[in-house]
Chain A
Amino acid sequence: MATRLLVRRIWAVSVKDSRRLPAAAASLSSSSSSRSSSLSTSVHTRSFLSPSRSLLLSSHRCISFNVQDNDDFTERVINSDLPVLVDFHAQWCGPCKILGPRLEKAVAKQKGRVAMAKVDIDDHTDLAIEYGVSAVPTVIAMRGGDIIDKFVGIKDEDQLDSFVNKLIGQ
């Protein structure tokens, strides 16, 4: 799992984002210093590479975004280098309106270590059906294209923080 992740990341850096490598490298020191001590090897790997992602996301894309279509989902969620929380929601769903902002807050706290994709299930029914959504809100945690965690319904801020922390491996 970790190896696969690593390969994917490096591939992503070398192929997709080669143009931006200098910037990524430049930001490396400051970013990695902010998450300094007591990191395991695998986290080191991430801390080496993730700054490029966070910079990229903060400068070119919003950390939380609305999924536009299936291709967009593939590109920004499945192929994402960052872990992604996918928030399946609907306009008619009251609890979704409470959870959405809480999730954004929890994600913002991570300062670019996790992204958030918002999927309106009426606009993107096929995606929701494919990902087994039965009730909303449903939140799926994805890393490297794999679903690694999921919850349905509402959670309070603390619960969301620990859900997100688990996802990024803290």
Chain B
Amino acid sequence: MPPVENDNAQIKARLQEFIDSNLVVIFSKSYCPYCKKVKELFKELNVACEAMELDLIENGSSYQDVLMEMTGQKTVPNVFVNKTHVGGCDKTIQAHKDGYLQQLLGAESTAYDYDLIVIGGGSGGLACSKEAAALGKKVMVLDYVVPTPLGTSWGLGGTCVNVGCIPKKLMHQTAMLHTALEDARKFGWEFSEAVNHNWETMKSAVNNYIGSLNWGYRVALRDKNVTYMNSYAEFVEPHKIKATTKRGKEMFHTAAKFVLATGERPRYLGIPGDKEYCITSDDLFYLSYCPGKTLVIGASYVALECGGFLAGLGLDVTIMVRSILLRGFDQDMANRAGDHMETYGIKFIRKFVPIKIEQLEAGTPGRLKVTAKSTETDEIIEGEYNTVLIAVGRDACTGNIGLDKAGVFVNPKNGKIPVNDEEQTNIPHIYAIGDILEGKWELTPVAIQAGRLLARRLFAGSSEKCDYVNVPTTVFTPLEYGSCGLSEEKAIELYGEENLEIFHSLFWPLEYTIPNRDNNRCYAKIICNKLDNERVIGFHYLGPNAGEVTQGFGVAMKCGATKQQLDSTIGIHPTCAEIFTTMEVTKRSGGDIKQTGC
């Protein structure tokens, strides 16, 4: 429980919101005759009033205390007209008699500039602002990219388009083509021995595609009548933000409601040389030169994906891991993906953390010396690399946006914003979506869905909420890993091992047979709940085209697919995904899972 003071601050914000968003507000008790009397007065005046019955709501007496603090009046009715405190029954009737009430009612209500201001023009923010504008609301979205310590910057659209999903998948594809080229010879394609990759060509092609997407987003905002500002936004008051342009020009804007969608940025290590000499994924996709021999620090999916595609380009890649791979993901699957990366030529340094980065030589790329320390012993190791890529996690951009001025609660431990199941923060008129949410998926389609549904709930009377359960996702490691639902660890924690049946199998994609590679590497696993008809609660796939395979099974799980239904589904032959229609070996049995023939 947060301390009482905090509770009061929240109540106050809630009351203020209620007062600000209604012309006439009566804090009342359902049985109070004086309250009835003022309600009748407004009825006579034909003015709609909103009453909050303090005897009927939870915490009513705390509300009354806070009202006392705000107005100096403890009794009910407590009347506000056009955000102005009028008083109790007598005062309200008097105000009516001397015309003050009419004056208040007629007074130009302090209209806000916008119905909605969205801070952050990434996946979630753009989706939300466009939807709200399509519903006829006056909407502003602000997006501003703070350059990386090395000066990299990019256009409209947020992480996914500029420094996330899009460039990542395109570079992953570049690496996959390398494998395909090698396979091709085995299938009879003949071409000259030397196969070279040109980083510059790839980088420009990727950046050009991103440029076209940036423009597309800008046009969509114009066409949907969303006001766009390329400015940094921060709260100065609960309903007011300051917007600062790159040139330092400041403007102020007000809105009835706000959506926070500021996303995250890569975390640094806080060791000597990290910001000066290292890059993050934010720089990698715009690097003007091939990074050369690279050390990737971290074992997040960003680390494994970047390390994976760099190795796929033919570079010498080492990944330094503090403890486990892909925290939060199924560890059996994570280790299998990691093992495959080792066979793919990537070196892992486990249980070490870097303590110092020094520059040996500047250049494109230069040479760096990395000193690292064991997490278990006093051992110190040194290594020389052309590039050091830090991918040890990302921090929510919530620290410098004036949330204290708006009263929005932020988890001090991780900078994340807790919200209710309607993406509402502790301050009723301020909402949050996307990567900055506490305990939610950090995925583009999730941010988009949350943003669109939020706009519909706010402005179209919808009640549909974003469903954060059974979200399918894929990690684009060299051997891709797709999953939906629970990890084995989480399933055991929730249901107990005895109540689960886990089916699994290795498989060998037909495409890999002629090149004769990666035998007994691809792996499929489903976790079923025995207490619920063997319903599939965890789906895991390590193999080619994991995203394409997992998407459809995500639909099946949303429909509540059971093991029996998978069994009665006819497979498509010859594919990888068909494995899920013929899974017989349970993990419990310890049976042989090597794949044999058709």
State the A residues within 8 Å of B (CB).
90-94, 121-122, 125, 129, 133-134, 136
Contacts and interface: CB of A to CB of B under 8 A. Distances in A.
A129 B208 contact: no
B43 interface: no
22 contacts: A90-B211, A90-B212, A91-B211, A92-B207, A92-B208, A92-B209, A92-B210, A92-B211, A92-B212, A93-B208, A93-B211, A93-B212, A121-B215, A122-B155, A122-B214, A122-B215, A125-B218, A129-B218, A129-B222, A133-B219, A134-B223, A136-B215
Interface of B: 155, 207-212, 214-215, 218-219, 222-223
Contacts of A91: 208, 211
Given A92-B208, A134-B223, 7 more contacts: A92-B207, A92-B209, A92-B211, A93-B208, A93-B211, A129-B219, A134-B219
A121 B219 CA distance: 11
The 4 closest A-B pairs by CB, nearest first: A92-B211, A92-B208, A134-B219, A129-B222
Contacts of A133: 219
Contacts of B207: 92
Contacts of B219: 129, 133-134
Nearest to B207: A92
A135 to B, nearest CB: 8
B211 A122 contact: yes
A133 B207 CA distance: 21
A31 B203 CA distance: 50
A99 B153 CA distance: 29
A14 B198 CA distance: 58
Contacts of A90: 211-212, 215
Nearest to B155: A122
A161 to B, nearest CB: 29
Contacts of A93: 208, 211-212
B133 to A, nearest CB: 15
Nearest to A94: B208
A124 to B, nearest CB: 12
A135 B556 CA distance: 38
A91 B210 CA distance: 11
Contacts of A94: 208
A91 B215 CA distance: 12
A122 B217 CA distance: 12
Contacts of B212: 90, 92-93
Contacts of B211: 90-93, 122
Nearest to B230: A125
Contacts of A136: 215
Max chain A CB contacts within 10 Å: which of B210, B214, B219, B223?
Answer: B219
Contacts of B215: 90, 121-122, 136
Most A C-beta atoms less than 10 A away, residue of B209, B211, B215, B218: B215
A137 to B, nearest CB: 12
User: Which of B155, B210, B218, B223 counts the most A-chain CB atoms under 10 A from its CB?
Assistant: B218
Contacts of A134: 219, 223
Nearest to B211: A92
Nearest to A121: B215
A123 to B, nearest CB: 12
B141 to A, nearest CB: 14
Contacts of B218: 125, 129
A138 to B, nearest CB: 11
Nearest to B209: A92
A67 to B, nearest CB: 17
Contacts of A122: 155, 211, 214-215
Nearest to B208: A92
A97 to B, nearest CB: 11
A53 B541 CA distance: 70
Contacts of B155: 122
A120 B549 CA distance: 41
A84 to B, nearest CB: 23
Contacts of A129: 218-219, 222
A112 to B, nearest CB: 33
Contacts of B214: 122
A154 B223 CA distance: 23
A73 to B, nearest CB: 18
Could you say which of A92, A94, A122 has the most chain B C-beta atoms within 10 Å of its C-beta? Answer: A92
Contacts of B223: 134
A132 to B, nearest CB: 8
A53 to B, nearest CB: 34
B229 to A, nearest CB: 12
Contacts of A121: 215
A115 to B, nearest CB: 25
A93 B219 CA distance: 15
A29 to B, nearest CB: 48
A121 B214 CA distance: 11
Contacts of B222: 129
Nearest to A93: B212
A125 to B, nearest CB: 6
A162 B211 CA distance: 32
A23 to B, nearest CB: 41
A151 B350 CA distance: 59
A129 B212 CA distance: 14
A92 to B, nearest CB: 3
B208 to A, nearest CB: 4
B211 to A, nearest CB: 3
B126 to A, nearest CB: 16
Contacts of B208: 91-94
A91 B222 CA distance: 21
Nearest to A134: B219
B113 to A, nearest CB: 20
A94 B209 CA distance: 10
A156 B208 CA distance: 24
B286 to A, nearest CB: 13
B390 to A, nearest CB: 28
Contacts of A125: 218
Nearest to A132: B222
B202 to A, nearest CB: 14
B145 to A, nearest CB: 14
A59 to B, nearest CB: 36
